[in-house]
Amino acid sequence: MPIPQQFPHGGASLAYRFTPGAGPLILFLPGFMSDLTGSKAVAVADWARGHGQACLRLDYSGCGASSGDFLDGSIGRWTGDVLALIDHLWPSGQVLLVGSSMGGWIGLLAGMRLKTRLAGLVGIAAAPDFTRWGLKITDLDREHLETNGYFTRPSDYGAPYRYSRALIADAPDHLLMDGLIPIAAPVRLLHGQCDDAVPWRLALDIAARITGEDVQVRLIKDGDHRLSREADIAALVGMIKELV
């Protein structure tokens, strides 16, 4: 597999794969401690390439093949990575954001910043505000934050998740679920009802808070958090095709 391209930003070098093509640019946003080689990211890129569609995948700073310290990463910093790469590679065209889990939170934030340049947004088990509802921080966690700069949680997907001091401190500045989410572009939310990481009812709450009218939620009754089965991928690609 070719080595990813690199873009310097914020003291790090961001790894990315960009395929030129027709607009809107399809931009895949990975989840927490995930990267541009994930199965959904690759599937989206393969579909885009086969249909002549511009596509971008990236690793946030400190993640995957990007340089930087993961413990310096945060919702704000990673959203900044996304916007910087858009400005570098696709400075004026329309953008279709596809965000998985935490990438759905970053996608909503980036979409708000793109305003009329946002062609649409697809959320896959989107997890805005997960640092608030998904983490019960204990006294021992706080001790680890103070001494080590992070605390851990077990993960079903590989190495334990590391939640850093920077992430926890920055997240309150980017919470979305206390008010309206000013996005007018079409939004599609895909969520599995067997998701044990992000409650599927959050998709309904996100939909209610988005100010635009063209918002749809699709629930997959036997779908888990990954949503990476062949049928799940087909549902995701169908949403992208509709918005393109």
Q: Which helix (H) or strand (E) holds 38?
A: none
**Tens-place pLDDT, residues 10-25:** 999 999 999 999 999 9
Query: What CA–CA distance (Å, rounded) separates 239 from 233?
Result: 10
In the chain, what is the straight-line distance between the N-terminal and C-terminal CA atoms, in Å?
28
Residue 95: strand pairing partners: 25, 118
**Tens-place pLDDT, residues 177-192:** 999 999 999 999 999 9
Query: What CA–CA distance (Å, rounded) separates 172 from 59?
Result: 23
Task: Give me the active site residues, please.
Answer: 101, 195, 225
Residue 27: strand pairing partners: 56, 97
Residue of 130, 76, 81 whose CA lies nearest to 102? 130
Residue of 68, 38, 44, 65 whose CA lies nearest to 56? 44
pLDDT over threshold 80, residue 157: no
Q: Write the class of the CATH domain 5-132+177-243.
A: alpha beta
Contact 198, 125 (CB under 8 A): yes
How many residues belong to the chain? 244
What is the mean pLDDT of the segment spanning 161-175?
97
Q: pTM of the predicted model, to two decimals?
A: 0.97
What confidence tier does 1 reach under pLDDT thresholds 50, 70, 90?
low
- Residue 129 or 3, more confident: 129
Annotated domain spans of the chain = 5-132+177-243
Q: What is the pLDDT of residue 2?
A: 74
Query: What CA–CA distance (Å, rounded) separates 199 from 225?
Result: 9
Contact 122, 96 (CB under 8 A): yes
Query: What CA–CA distance (Å, rounded) separates 239 from 158?
Result: 29
Query: What CA–CA distance (Å, rounded) separates 128 from 146?
Result: 25
Contact 36, 17 (CB under 8 A): yes
What is the mean pLDDT of the segment spanning 133-148?
96
Residue of 109, 125, 96 whose CA lies nearest to 186? 96
In sequence order, which residues have a C-beta less than 8 Å from that of residue 99 and are 6 or more positions away?
28, 29, 105, 106, 107, 108, 121, 122, 123, 124, 126
